[in-house]
């Protein structure tokens, strides 16, 4: 066993924590915020476990000062959060200054504590008035998105040095419009494929806009990337793993970095979409507009096998992991993070990479001593940081690591039943308690600073 603090990163390596607006803010009807499709979805019976909603969540909208104190106390140098589109834009597509003001207050609090903000423009809270017009399946949403992006660049362009256009287009399209597990809960693969294209297009348009506005920070996108391994070495299982890779990874990476959708996936989607006329001339040039970094959200890998004729889109089946799983049922497989980073650098891009999310859910509880002991989460994060370190030591361009999440929050379709935080939240009292993993992370960052003479 290595010392649990035995991790070495370059002096300028960024340690951070991450959250998103709908998962923490609450205050869903305050200061002019309009409903998002997640409000609608969570208030529809049967969609979210235990009928839970983000109505109050961590009440961060009112407690952001205290939360920024926690962030600063951890010693992280950066905080990744998301801006809520329904707070910032009115139903007639104008700026809501009261929504803007909240994020100015948050940015002030971060600046006072020397924490650098990294903002995600879209982490899934689409305004309901746009969902009513077809949401991401409607190409008009691309233009509304760039209107919104322009408003946030005007307001915060000089205050936020790092921008993430989208969080996890795979979730925002396939999981939401195809698999129906996230808002809007549709099961229509035509809509899902259109949504993926429009989300990517809105990303590219937003990068172009950022440049056109002369802003000098960094802009990129965050993908949830999965590693798919074949269950056996047969050709059939290997082909199934390859299709799974196309579905999770290549459908997004190829247009961003190669300016083309992968042919094998076009063949898989063709029967569902009839034709690809919604991909218009120039779209792929826009999508592949050069950006400054790639954000990677990594949680697990999947092991895939082939069983002809039975699976969704004929993609193959995922073997449910049994050993070393988190409470989500996701296999703990840090080596796949290393393999993923190597592959991105080898096959796709020389751009700086950031791990914009990594973390784990475990069934935490407050112990008799008033503390929350979560050794499994510490082990999870430590092992993934070791994998990241190996990549960096071999010359890999990984610039930072954001732990998901700062605190327990609304875990989408799972409501409050899954706790990803390094800070425990008692949702009845809104009390926050640093878990053992938070204390470990804090100590790790402090040692990193000392080692580099920044302590």
Nearby residues of 301 by Cβ (< 8 Å), 6 or more positions away: 226, 227, 228, 229, 331, 333, 336
In the complex, what is the shortest distance from the CB of residue 56 to ligand GBH, in angstroms, rounded to a whole number? 17
Whichever of 23 and 141 has its CB closer to ligand GBH, that residue is 23
Report the distance separating Cα 336 and Cα 359, nearest Å: 14
Compare residues 288 and 326 and give the one whose CB is closer to ligand GBH. Answer: 326
Q: What angle do CA 36, 37, 42 make, to 5 degrees?
A: 105
From the CB of 228, what's the least distance to ligand GBH, in Å?
Answer: 9
Indicate the residue among 50 and 214 with the shorter CB distance to ligand GBH.
Answer: 50
Site membership for ligand GBH, residue 302 (CB under 6 A):
yes
Stretch that binds ligand GBH, among 4-12, 46-54, 88-96, 298-306 (CB under 6 A): 298-306
Smallest separation, CB 167 to ligand GBH (Å): 5
| Cis, bond preceding 366 (omega within 30 deg of 0) | no
By DSSP bridging, strand 423-426 and strand 431-434 are: antiparallel
Q: Does 402 bind ligand GBH (CB under 6 A)?
A: no
CB of 36 to ligand GBH, least distance (A): 14
The answer to whether residue 20 forms part of the interface with ligand GBH (CB under 6 A) is: yes
List, in order, residues 6 or more apart from 189 with CB less than 8 Å away: 178, 269, 272, 273, 313
Least distance from C-beta 360 to ligand GBH, angstroms? 9
Stretch that binds ligand GBH, among 8-16, 163-171, 182-190, 287-295 (CB under 6 A): 163-171
Name which of 20 and 349 has its Cβ closer to ligand GBH. Answer: 20
In angstroms, give the least distance from the CB of 6 to ligand GBH: 27
Nearer to ligand GBH among residue 210 and residue 402 (C-beta) = 402
**Of 81 and 420, which has the nearer Cβ to ligand GBH?**
420
Q: Does 22 bind ligand GBH (CB under 6 A)?
A: no
Taking residues 170 to 209 in sequence order and writing x for each that binds ligand GBH by CB under 6 A, - otherwise, the string is -x--------------------------------------
- The answer to the question of residue 168 lying near ligand GBH (CB under 6 A) is yes
User: Please, how many CA atoms are within 13 Å of residue 166, restricted to the half-sphere of its CB?
Assistant: 29
Binding of ligand GBH at residue 300 (CB under 6 A)?
yes
**At a CB cut-off of 8 Å and minimum separation 6, what does 333 contact?**
227, 300, 301, 324
Cα separation of 141 and 154, whole Å? 20
Smallest Cα–Cα separation from 404: which of 272, 295, 280, 320? 295
64 is an interface residue for ligand GBH by CB under 6 A: no
For residue 154, how far is the Cα from the chain centroid?
24
Lookup: tokens for 104: 């100015």
x/- contact string, 303-342, with ligand GBH (CB under 6 A)?
---------------x-----------x------------
CA–CA distance, 256 with 284 (Å, rounded to integer): 8
Q: Which of 453, 385, 394, 356 is nearest to 82 (CA)?
A: 356
Interaction pattern, residues 361-400, with ligand GBH; x per rule: CB under 6 A = ----------------------------------------
224 interacts with ligand GBH by CB under 6 A = yes
- Say whether residue 404 binds ligand GBH (CB under 6 A): yes
Tokens of 447: 């040692």
Catalytic residues: 357
Does 165 interact with ligand GBH (rule: CB under 6 A)? no
- The answer to whether 400 and 354 have CB atoms below 8 angstroms apart is yes
Determine the length of the chain. 455
Verify binding: residue 167, ligand GBH, rule CB under 6 A. yes
77 binds ligand GBH (CB under 6 A): no
357 lines the binding site for ligand GBH (CB under 6 A): yes
Residues 6+ away with beta carbon under 8 Å from 262: 246, 250, 251, 254
Q: Which of 103, 269, 293, 299 binds ligand GBH (CB under 6 A)?
A: 299
The set of residues, in sequence order, having a beta carbon less than 8 Å from that of 410 and lying 6+ positions away, is 22, 23, 24, 52, 53, 54, 57, 416
In the block, which residue shows the tokens 């960096």?
Answer: 392
Residues 88-107 binding ligand GBH (CB under 6 A) are none
In the region spanning residues 417 to 446, those forming contacts with ligand GBH, defined by CB under 6 A, are 420
Alpha-carbon torsion (375, 381, 386, 389), positive or negative: negative
Beta bridge partners of 294: 221, 353
Name the helix (H) or strand (E) containing 228: strand 227-230
Q: Please, are residues 126 and 37 in contact by the beta-carbon 8 Å criterion?
A: yes
Question: Minimum distance from CB of 247 to ligand GBH (Å)?
Answer: 11
Q: Does 411 bind ligand GBH (CB under 6 A)?
A: yes
Residues that bind ligand GBH (CB under 6 A): 20, 23, 167-168, 171, 224, 226, 297, 299-300, 302, 318, 330, 357, 404, 411, 420
């Amino acid at each position: 066993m290595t010392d649990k603090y035995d991790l070495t990163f370059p002096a300028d390596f960024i340690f951070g924590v991450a959250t998103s607006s709908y998962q923490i803010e609450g205050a869903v009807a305050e200061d002019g915020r309009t409903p998002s499709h997640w409000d609608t979805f969570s208030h529809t019976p049967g969609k979210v476990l235990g009928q839970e909603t983000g109505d109050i969540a961590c009440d961060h909208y009112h407690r952001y000062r205290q939360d920024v104190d926690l962030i600063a106390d951890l010693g992280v140098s950066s905080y990744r959060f998301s801006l809520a589109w329904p707070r910032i834009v009115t139903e007639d597509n104008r700026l809501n200054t009261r929504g803007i003001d909240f994020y100015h207050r948050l940015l002030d609090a971060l600046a006072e504590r020397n924490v650098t903000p990294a903002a995600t423009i879209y982490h899934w809270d689409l305004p309901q008035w746009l969902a009513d017009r077809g949401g991401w399946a409607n190409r008009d949403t691309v233009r509304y998105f760039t209107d919104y992006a322009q408003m946030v660049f005007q307001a915060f362009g000089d205050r936020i040095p790092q921008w993430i256009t989208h969080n996890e287009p795979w979730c925002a399209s396939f999981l939401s419009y195809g698999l129906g597990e996230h808002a809007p809960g549709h099961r229509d693969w035509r809509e899902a494929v259109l949504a993926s294209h429009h989300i990517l297009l809105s990303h590219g348009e937003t990068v172009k806009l950022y440049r056109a506005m002369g802003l000098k920070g960094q802009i990129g996108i965050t993908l949830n990337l999965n590693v798919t391994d074949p269950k056996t070495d047969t050709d059939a299982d290997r082909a199934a793993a390859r299709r799974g890779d196309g579905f999770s990874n290549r459908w997004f990476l190829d247009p961003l970095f190669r300016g083309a959708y992968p042919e094998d996936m076009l063949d898989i989607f063709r029967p569902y979409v009839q034709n690809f006329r919604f991909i218009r001339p120039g779209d792929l040039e826009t999508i592949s507009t050069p950006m400054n970094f790639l954000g990677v959200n990594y949680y697990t890998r999947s092991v895939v096998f082939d069983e002809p004729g039975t699976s969704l889109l004929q993609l193959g089946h995922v073997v449910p992991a049994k050993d070393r799983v988190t409470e989500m049922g996701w296999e703990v497989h840090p080596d796949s993070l290393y393999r993923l980073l190597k592959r991105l650098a080898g096959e796709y891009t020389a751009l700086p990479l950031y791990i914009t999310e990594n973390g784990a859910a475990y069934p935490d509880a407050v112990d008799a001593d008033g503390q929350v002991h979560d050794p499994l989460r510490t082990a999870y994060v430590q092992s993934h940081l070791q994998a990241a370190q190996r990549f960096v030591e071999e010359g890999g361009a990984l610039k930072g690591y954001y732990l998901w999440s700062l605190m327990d929050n609304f875990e989408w379709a799972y409501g409050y039943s899954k706790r990803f935080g390094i800070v425990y939240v008692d949702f009845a009292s809104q009390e926050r308690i640093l878990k053992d993993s938070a204390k470990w992370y804090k100590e790790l960052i402090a040692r990193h600073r000392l080692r580099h003479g920044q302590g």
